[in-house]
Structure 1
């Protein structure tokens, strides 16, 4: 038996969110805060309507910002003042592998999908290993979690080259400030 949810896809506003993007289509996307999936607010083939919608969204939101992109050559591009592709966007429609999304939402794991400043999602997990001096060390390990390249160990973002290394916060608790002050006095 059909339910009300089954008929929602007759509503173009809802259905178009699940359609693939088309060449030359303008997308108004949420550019801040960034999520691990692309947040598309509006889609149109009319540059002026898309630009106007983007400006209205930015006026209406205090803690969220939106940007206009065009879908060209299977990527998102920034547009120039005429609505033509200008430069490739740092923010793309990343596809995270399902097992990493499941681990991200699991409550019993020290791991999560983290979003780089450029919007690239990666998987960060707490790992332990033994140092050369036989001491246990806890650190954050960064892995790619995209469908195409999942599981590769990374230190810098493949998209913007930013450092992804996170220092364990507990190491700060062991820092001896007295030793540092004595060293500085010498």
Structure 2
């Protein structure tokens, strides 16, 4: 006999958690705001159906945006105008290790899960140590928190190369941690990025004044 729990699997949000993605499957995913886990609003093997659903979702939401991806070779890919895999998506279905999820929600740790602008999650904890001169220093340490390769100390995002270095605000009031992660995705970690506003118009860079319209700019230079 069917129970209330059985009918929960008709809800895409719940079903996605348990049902694997399949080769060639299209997914409408939430690309803003980004969360720790992938939010899939629609799944289909029909490109036109998935594209239409994505367009409707974007029309229906003012503060949330959605994009179309295809599952190919165990990864999410952006699609071309034919619905074929075009380039690997920066946003993936990240698997966070349980101990880091628990530490994030714990009230006894000075640490948190942080989501990079490209969607990559990492674990940031406040650490203190004594410098060679004997002075106490407090800084943020960034660690990988995914099931694979967890616990590695990182200073740049393994997914988009953005700087993840944070310092204690009392040490440097001028430090802007959000400088890189607030850039357009295609510009994160790029040496060509300018990002200065002139008379109300933002100049992204000298090559592409208004930025690049996807995640993979052909003129990206680390």
For Structure 1 versus Structure 2, the TM-score category normalised by the shorter chain is: 0.7 to 0.9
Give 1:87-126 correspondences, 5 Å limit. 87-126=87-126
Contact 1:8 1:14 (8 Å CA) reproduced: no
Aligned to 1:51: 51
Aligned to 2:214: none
**Bigger relative contact order, structure 1 or 2, given CA contacts below 8 A and separation 6+?**
1
**Structure in which a larger fraction of residues adopt helix:** 1
Aligned to 2:28: 28
TM-superposition CA deviations, 1:55-114 (whole Å, max 9, x none): 111111111100000000000000000100000000001100000000111122111110
Q: Distance in 2 between matches of 1:3 and 1:69?
A: 33
Contact 2:30 2:65 (8 Å CA) reproduced: yes
Unpaired runs of 5+ in structure 2? Answer: 174-222
Q: What secondary structure, in the 3-state scheme, does the structure 1 residue paired with 2:51 have?
A: helix
Aligned to 2:37: 37
Q: Distance in 1 between matches of 2:172 and 2:150?
A: 31
TM-superposition CA deviations, 1:157-180 (whole Å, max 9, x none): 11111100012112246xxxxxxx
Deviation at 1:8, TM superposition (A): 2.5
Q: Distance in 1 between matches of 2:128 and 2:8?
A: 47
What is the RMSD computed on CA atoms of the aligned residues? Answer: 1.8
| Range with greater deviation from structure 2 (19-28 or 163-172) | 163-172
Q: Could you list the runs of 4 or more consecutive aligned residues of structure 1 that deviate by over 4 angstroms after TM superposition?
A: 12-15
TM-superposition CA deviations, 1:122-156 (whole Å, max 9, x none): 00000000011101100000000000110000000
Deviation at 1:6, TM superposition (A): 4.5
Q: Distance in 1 between matches of 2:74 and 2:6?
A: 30
Unpaired runs of 5+ in structure 1? Answer: 174-186
